[in-house]
Amino acid sequence: MTSRIAPSILAADFGNFAAEVRRADEAGGDWIHCDVMDGHFVPNISFGADVIRGIRGATQKPLDVHLMIERPDLYLERFIEAGADHVIVHVEAQHDVCKTLAAIRARGKKAGVAINPATPVAALWPLLDQLDEVLVMTVNPGFGGQAFIPEVLPKIREIRARAPRLPIVVDGGINPQTGRQCAAAGADVFVAGNSLFKHKSLGLQEAVAELRKNVTL
């Protein structure tokens, strides 16, 4: 599969979201990844549907909206109306996952499920025929800037073996080195925040290019 880079706006300048999204778009990002946190499912709060609406006006790239929220089923419609193209919900959240995925697809959007590092990969198997993507958390969700957890790599390999054509997204601690490990395991969409927006020596465009080079095997 073709590797795709999804800059995560969680690492962008919150005071200039529209400009940052345009910058990520122009730098070569394939998707724009948006982490929505509610302070319940994860111990942090990020932003809601109104911010997604503002981002939608700044780019034509797909908006990959990751709902790290306790009751995604209650808020799906708001994020879809705001402009989400892909909606990712957690298998660990408090909802009927199958019904939630069906509701996303009924609106013509791509449906995805995320699993945390501690969640057995077998939780995905009953859902495979309802998924347009699966997101493997490579850190514990809730905060940006965490260190990559290498123990998740066997999960990626197992998902790829079970679902050869399903896009596998990795999210958390992704940089050229960890991204390459994930690519070798079978991932093909790479969410990156600090390693792109806060690179120590490269501009955003150069950082995107560096990551893409390392995950293209």
Instruction: Out of 38, 64, 73, 171, pick the active-site residue.
Output: 171
**% of the chain residues with pLDDT over 70:** 99
What confidence category does residue 146 fall into, taking pLDDT thresholds of 50, 70 and 90?
A: confident
**Which pLDDT belongs to residue 141?**
86
Confidence of residue 129 (pLDDT cuts 50, 70, 90): very high
- Identify whether 132 is a catalytic site residue: no
Give the mean model confidence (pLDDT) for residues 11-35.
96
- 109 has a pLDDT exceeding 90: yes
| Confidence at 93, pLDDT banded by 50, 70, 90 | very high
- Catalytic status, residue 25: no
Question: What pTM value is reported for the model?
Answer: 0.96
- Is 58 buried (19+), middle (13-18) or exposed (0-12) by CB count in 10 A? middle
CATH for the stretch 4-215: 3.20.20.70
The answer on pLDDT for 159 being more than 90 is yes
Of the listed 35, 38, 73, 188, which one is catalytic?
35
Q: Pick from 132, 134, 158, 136: which is nearest to 149 by CA?
A: 136
What is the arithmetic mean of pLDDT over 50-58? 96
Annotated domain spans of the chain:
4-215
Summarize the confidence of residues 136-153 as an average pLDDT: 89
The string of DSSP codes covering 93-162 is: SSS-HHHHHHHHHHTT-EEEEEE-TTS-GGGGGGGGGG-SEEEEESS-TT-SSPPP-GGGHHHHHHHHHH
